[in-house]
Amino acid sequence: MLSAEVSLGAGEARVRYVPSLADLGLIRRTIEDETGFEVGPAPTALSQDAEREAHDREYRTLFNRFLFAAVVAVPVLLTSYPDFVPGLRGLPRETLRTIWFGDAALTLPVLVYSGRRFFVGGWRALRHRSADMNTLVALGTGAAWLYSVVAISVPGVFPAGTAEPFFDVVAVVIALVVLGQALELRARGRTSEAIKKLMGLQPRAARVVRDGTEQDIPVEEVLVGDLVLVRPGEKVPVDGVVEEGSSAVDEAMITGEPMPVEKHPGDEVIGATINKTGAFRFRATKVGKDTALAQIVRLVQEAQGSKAPIQRIADVVSGYFVPAMMIVAVLTFVAWFDFGPQPRLIFALITSVSILVIACPCALGLATPMSLMVGVGKAAEHGVLIRNGTALQAAQSIDTVVMDKTGTITFGKPALTNIVVVESGEASETEVLRLAAAVEKGSEHPLGEAIVRGAEGQGLAVPDAEDFRALPGRGVEARVAGREVLLGNLKLMRERGVPLDGLEEAVRRLADEGKTPMYAAADGRPLGVIAVADTVKPDSAEAIRTLRAQGLEVVMLTGDSRRTAEAIAREVGVDRVLAEVLPEDKALQVRRLQAEGRKVAMVGDGINDAPALAQADVGIAIGTGTDVAIEASDVTLIKGSLRDVVVAIEISRATMRNIRQNLFGSFVYNTLGVPIAAGVLYPFFGLLLSPMIAGAAMAASSVTVVSNANRLRGWRPKGIR
Amino acid sequence: MDIAQVAVTVGGVALSAFIAWYFWFAPREVTRAQAAGGMQEVDVVVKGGYSPDVIVVEAGKPVRLNFTRQESAACSETVILSDFGKSAFLPEGQTVPVEFTPEKPGEYDFHCQMNMLRGKVIVE
């Protein structure tokens, strides 16, 4: 080991070491022996098994508690309504009292076992001067049980007709609420399915070369700098750079790119992608929590734990809700006791217990987080990373989408677009391209590279050139197979006295299309014109069409000349073009649009466009490959396709709609449920809510909210694909 | 109105007043973060609520809250500090540190996913 730096805050150490001499075991021993620090496995944020196990255990506990309460509820229910049960009808009251003592004995374990959590939790909350659903259920069922016990023990102290037991309420309400919790837990597990799928992509093992031998090790032990072997069909374990061999790698799970990507020495590979055809070795550059996958998972988790501004109302309400409901229950009791019909005590008790049971604000509390969880996860499945709930809420109300041109609408690097040959037919298109590519092979200019790539793309064998010379401001020249080849602008042709043979017309037309044309000549004779241009990504036009069809205005923002910008704009069909904008003025242009009262989404790359992304209501960064954690952006599109702008806006709208449904549903549930439980319908319709119905309603409300959120799992982008 | 009704009415109103006072108006216990090694640190037990639930820290210095969940109810399994963009899954019985640096003085809530358990960080 050469040196070490320790960051106490992060609990991390950065160690420089010689890979051939030290392995993880030695590093660990050295740290533990020399410093006394303990070394633990790096948090990969990818271990979800613990959560699933905890949930399974919890579900079993809840379900057993429900079963017990449900089994007890059957005889207790029957004996509570002796007039309706054959065999019990007409039994003398003293016999019934004995049976009811049996009910008391049966329901006590229901309270202690099935309802344990309500009492323990309620008590703990109370000591924190807070009240939650446990408090409410504990108060409701506890009051019903105590009243019943007193009523059958000393019936004499109660006014006539009020010494009735409510053991059925105790058993049924606890059974229903616990069942509701169990179902809710199951449904909640499904809301995080998307992130579990992502985590499931993480390979478990890696084959590395250490001390000259190949070893299979757990992926957690792969170190930066390790040489990793990947055979066909295997997963790439961590991020790195290919050193040896080549292959096609399926990166669809990370970048969404459907076609396998060719990898050669020097190319980056991403952990969790699948190696298809060849074997290769690569040097690990990012491991543990730094891999692209781990970063994606972290971003999604952070977003899922964030809050949408719309939740603020629910937060304020639920902060005061439970104590307020306790007060309502007390006052309802008083009102029925003072003004209600006989038997007043029974009415007062039923209504206040019903209120306590029905008033649980669980649904309200779950409304936003559950939908956010599913929506953000769903977006990630489509390669759209939404930073937080605020971004999601902002994205749904966007009416203007501003797009950077270079690298966003277009690929951002020139490609061969046209070849025009002289009318005399001196050379074919392939011949012109072959010669031009040969000349440019020695060039490092991006335009030259575009021509060489174009020739290779057509499968041409490009000959070698001699005497290559770059002529600044004019073009290039070289000798190819004995011919003096020139490639350059009008100035170069004039200087060398090359006639143009009517090629000027093609050059003017190509330039009008925003392309860069170059004359090609050999041995003083013109051959043709080759044009290169930054080309539009294949799906840009479709994405822009879809956005416009959805009523959004699409604006293109670029530093390029108006001519080039308008050529591209015509091709993809944007509403408005802002050309010749200096990089530092991009944010200003966004602000101007906002000043027109628009809600602006800015789409661009995360580096050059960072200020504009930050200025926009929603900054959408187009990422590529491993660069997923783009800080300035609200939304990151992993694939780099504009179609995902549509996906981002659609999923935001769908999620927000879902959240509004949930919030509306839970507000309605509570604002209708509580007055009905209080008995406001009784004077008009003689209708009173049984506490058992209240328990069923309460259980149903939270299950409904979570299930509604889960509907989002079936979401598909509408406008495209 | 008979005596029972008067008693119930008076008792009910008094009980309502007590509930309001107990949950909303009574002064709360405040815990000040311990500074150690440049880090303001507080251990928080999660068990039917957060203890302590009102935590005072200084602005501009990193804060570490060590959450330990001592119950299995799924309700409290996630703690969210939305103002600091942090959330953490709390496996039962494990201590999970959550770190952030509050820049501006003010009051910031933290809570469980369903917003039933609540606590507050007061930044001074």
A129 or A323, higher pLDDT: A323
A334 confidence band (pLDDT: 50, 70, 90): very high
- Look at residue A208 and give its three-state secondary structure: strand
What percent of chain A is predicted at pLDDT more than 70? 94
The token pair at A707 is 């299930």
Q: How far is A125 from chain B (nearest CA, A)?
A: 5
**Residue B5 counted as domain residue:** no
Task: Give mean pLDDT, residues A38-45.
Answer: 60
**C-alpha angle A77/A83/A88, rounded to 5°?**
75
What pLDDT is attached to residue A45?
46
Asked if B92 is an interface residue toward chain A (Cβ–Cβ < 8 A), one would say yes
Instruction: With H, G, I as helix, E, B as strand and everything else as coil, classify residue A213.
Output: strand
Beta bridge partners of A495: none
Q: Which positions in chain B touch A315 (Cβ < 8 Å)?
A: 109, 115
For residues A493 and A8, the model is more confident at A493
Cβ atoms of residues A625 and A636 within 8 Å: no
Segment B92-98 mean pLDDT? 85
pLDDT value of residue A720:
56
Report yes or no: B3 at the A interface, CB cutoff 8 Å. no
Question: A404 an active-site residue?
Answer: yes
Contact A129 B82 (CB under 8 A): no
- What's the token pair of residue A423? 């009318």
Q: Are A130 and B114 within 8 A, CB to CB?
A: no
For residue A363, the chain B residues in CB contact (below 8 A) are none
Instruction: Choose the mutation target among B6, B77, B114, B117 for the interface with A, i.e. most A CBs under 10 Å.
Output: B114
Query: Residues B91, B96, B99, B105: is their CA dihedral positive or negative?
Result: positive
Of A22-31, A101-110, A702-711, B77-86, the one with minimum mean pLDDT is: A22-31
Buried/exposed A98-111: b ≥16 CB within 10 Å, e otherwise? ebbeebbebbeebb
- Whether B34 and chain A come into contact, CB under 8 Å, resolves to no
> B112 lies in a domain?
yes
Region A31-56: mean pLDDT is 68
Is B20 within a domain?
Answer: no
Å from A669 to nearest chain B CA? 17
Domain range spanning residue B60? Answer: 29-123
Q: Residue B19: which of A51, A54, A323 has the nearest Cβ?
A: A323
pLDDT tens digit string along A619-663? 998 875 445 555 668 898 888 788 889 999 999 999 999 999 999
The pLDDT value recorded for residue A259 is 78
* List A226, A250, A404, A534, catalytic entry: A404
Kindly state whether residue B8 falls inside one of the protein's structural domains: no
Contacting residues of A for B91, CB less than 8 Å apart: 50-51, 54
User: Can you tell me the distance from the alpha carbon of A71 to that of A175, in angstroms, rounded to the nearest whole number?
Assistant: 9
pLDDT 10s digits, A559-571: 888 888 888 888 8
The answer to whether residue B50 sits within a structural domain is yes
Domain count, chain B: 1
Please determine, for residue A519, whether its predicted confidence score (pLDDT) is greater than 60: yes
Instruction: Judge whether A529 and A420 are in contact, CB under 8 Å.
Output: yes
Taking CB atoms and an 8 Å cutoff, what residues of chain B touch A125? 48-49, 117
pLDDT digits (tens, 9 = 90+) for A172-211: 989 988 998 888 888 877 877 788 888 888 888 899 988 7
- Give me the mean pLDDT over the A378-400 stretch: 90
Q: What is the mean pLDDT of residues A288-303?
A: 83
Burial of A264 (0-12, 13-18, 19+ CB in 10 A): exposed
pLDDT at A20 over 80: no
CB atoms B74 and A334 under 8 Å:
no
Confidence of residue A212 (pLDDT cuts 50, 70, 90): confident
In tens, the pLDDT along A141-180 reads 999 899 889 888 888 777 777 777 889 889 998 998 899 8
Complex ipTM tops 0.85: no
Which residue's entry shows tokens 């509004």?
A660
In B46-85, the residues whose Cβ lies within 8 Å of chain A are: 47-51, 53, 62, 64, 71-74, 77-78, 80, 82, 85
pTM of the prediction?
0.80
Does residue A409 contact residue A540 with C-beta atoms inside 8 Å?
A: yes
Q: Do B77 and A318 touch (CB under 8 A)?
A: no
Within-domain flag for B68:
yes
Label residue A106 by pLDDT band (50, 70, 90).
very high
What is each CA distance from A702 to A250, A388, A427, A514, in whole angstroms?
A: 41, 24, 76, 58
CATH number for the domain spanning B97: value is: 2.60.40.420
Tell how far CA A572 is from the center of its chain.
29
Look at residue A68 and tell me whether its pLDDT is greater than 50. Answer: yes
Tally C-beta pairs within 8 A across A and B. 128
Q: B3 in a domain, yes or no?
A: no
pLDDT category at A553 given cuts 50, 70, 90 is very high
| Domain-located, residue B18 | no
Q: To probe the interface with A, which of B8, B115, B117, B120 has the most A CB atoms within 10 Å?
A: B115
Burial class from Cβ neighbours inside 10 Å (0-12, 13-18, 19+) for residue B51 reads: middle
